[in-house]
Amino acid sequence: MLLRYNWYSITCTSIVFILISASLVCSQEKAQSNYFPDIIHFYQEYISPVDGDRCSMYPSCSTYLKKCVKKHGLLTGWIMGLDRFVRCGRDEKKNSPPVWIDGRKHTYDPVENNDFWWSDK
Amino acid sequence: MNRIPGLIFLAIFLFLPLFLPGNGVCGDTVIVDAKKQYELAQKLFEEKDFSAAAHEYIRFFHLFPNHEKVARAKYETGVSFFYGGRFEDARRHLEKIAANFSDSGFAPDAMFKLSEVYFAMDDPGRAAAVLRDLITLTLNTQISDSACFMLGWLLLDKADVFKSRSDYKVYPIREAEKYFSMISVEGKKKYRIEETITSLEKISQVKKKNPTLAGVLSIIPGAGFLYCGRYRDALISFFLNSSLMLAAYQSFENDNDFLGGVISFVEAGFYAGNIYGSVSSAHKYNKQKQKEFIDKLKQEYPANQDKISFKTGFINNGVALMFTYDF
């Protein structure tokens, strides 16, 4: 039922994930250095300004995902990014320190705060 | 014949100025002696003009290389650069002094300060390594006690950083306990360290979350978050994952395999993210509890708090981590 009423958003999502799947076919290194950050850049450049700057975290979820992919590769970065989408703006607010960016309060949650237990990069 | 005394007089009159000191002629030349030069550097240091002080100390040991205060001036150069926020220059100067180790010279002081420099450069690993070297090299009990005390607190304060390093095999809090216990009997009284060691034993009583259990629980989406006390994240995770699972199932049921595949792909990411987030949340919870315990430990002992402090500071318009220690 939910899907029947959201064909437009599903089509858009599908296109995005087809591109991601295509990048998966490419070599891991090439994918993480070229294609995936470009998709996020496309989102940040053209979709986010229309959608509105509403992410309450710092760095924003899209920047966080980009950083995760750059740091840990496509698969781990993708998983970490989706974990961030779930945590964005809820319980993380009371667990992480606040930062003020352009007069707006954000929750400081960098990649290092979420991979410290397994990564020493 | 009578001209000879006159010529001698003329010769003396003409050539004498050549043998007179310079200030006798122009009056602008200043003679800098070692005492004045050292005092100038000290004055600049007291006035907190650290960069100028460092350069005056350098001028001092360059002009008077055999002066008795050269060793001190070299050490003060490093200290001045440190307070001036020029950590790389401070490191370079202090490392040179530390390289020629002897208990009687400035090497121990330089090594203490060098560990502070590394700490300010956000490199606690090297800060700890310098203090370990000092403990190994020194024969002086007081220096060893101070280094053990400082290293113990450094390990406690940065326990989470050390613990995450793959090359760091020892549990940092246990290592801190080891260094505290290496302090001599007099030192233990001075630093009231027995009480700290006793309190440290209670760290095992701090309630922690098991990351493995959090991961296993998150097989049911959100249960891992729930275990870590993140109720809202748990709710979102549960509904998001179950909605996507249901959507994928419905798509396959309606023979829309392509859509089902795309949703499954997204759902796989969210499901893996749910497991990752649960394990990560347990680690973050434990880190937070450990930090609270150590902060409480610092507050419980005013004597320790006076001697050692970890704080952020502003140096040269930049933010730096400061690790200060008073002997």
What DSSP string describes B107-159? HHHHHHHHHHHHHHTT-HHHHHHHHHHHHHH---HHHHHHHHHHHHHHHHHTH
- For residue B212, is pLDDT > 90? yes
Give me the mean pLDDT over the B206-220 stretch. Answer: 93
- Tally the domains of chain A: 1
Under CATH, domain B34-207 is a member of which superfamily? Answer: Tetratricopeptide repeat domain (1.25.40.10)
Residue A121 lies in a domain: no
The domain spans of chain B are: 34-207, 211-303
Domain that holds residue A48: 4-115
Contacts of A2 in chain B (CB under 8 A): 243, 247
pLDDT tens digits, one per residue of B140-191: 999 999 999 889 888 888 877 776 665 555 677 888 888 988 999 988 888 8
Instruction: Give the C-alpha separation, A38 to A22, whole Å.
Output: 13
**What is the per-residue pLDDT across B233-258, written as a single tens digit (0 to 9) for each?**
999 999 999 999 999 999 999 999 99
- Residue A104: is its pLDDT beyond 60? yes
**Is A13 in contact with B247 (Cβ distance < 8 A)?**
no
Inter-chain CB proximity B247 and A86 less than 8 Å: no
3-state secondary structure chain A: CCCHHHHHHHHHHHHHHHHHHHHHHCCHHHHHHHHHHHHHHHHHHHHHHHHCCCCCEECCHHHHHHHHHHHHCHHHHHHHHHHHHHHCCCCHHHHCCEEEECCEEEEECCCHHHHCCCCCC
User: Chain B closest CA to A87's CA: distance in Å?
Assistant: 6
Chosen for mutation from B210, B232, B256, B287 (greatest number of chain A CBs closer than 10 Å) is B232
A with B: how many residue pairs have Cβ under 8 Å apart?
A: 84
Whether the CB-CB separation of A72 and A115 falls below 8 Å is answered with yes
In a domain? residue A30: yes
Closest Cβ–Cβ partner in A18, A90, A117 for B233: A90
Q: Is B140 within 8 Å of chain A by CB?
A: no
Per residue in B283-319, pLDDT (tens digit) is 999 888 888 888 888 777 655 555 555 554 434 434 3
Residue-level pLDDT at B253:
94
Among chain B residues, the shortest Cα distance to A18 is held by B262
State the smallest CA–CA distance between residue A66 and chain B in angstroms.
Answer: 15
Residue B112 confidence (pLDDT) above 70:
yes
Which of B256, B284, B285 has the most A C-beta neighbours within 10 Å, making it the best mutation to test the interface with A?
Answer: B284
Task: Decide if B308 contacts B325 (C-beta within 8 A).
Answer: yes
B161 touches chain A (CB under 8 A): yes
- CA nearest to A92, candidates B117, B285, B132: B285
**Contact yes or no for B160 and A87 at CB 8 A:** no
pLDDT tier for residue A106 given thresholds of 50, 70 and 90: very high
Of A10, A21, A79, the CB nearest to B276: A79
d(CA B54, CA B49): 9
Report ipTM for this prediction. 0.75
Choice among A36-50, B23-37, B185-199 with the minimum mean pLDDT: B23-37
Task: Give the chain B residue nearest A87 (alpha carbons).
Answer: B233
Tell me which chain B residues have a C-beta less than 8 angstroms from the C-beta of A91: 225, 229-233
pLDDT over 50 (residue B201): yes
pLDDT at residue B192 above 70? yes
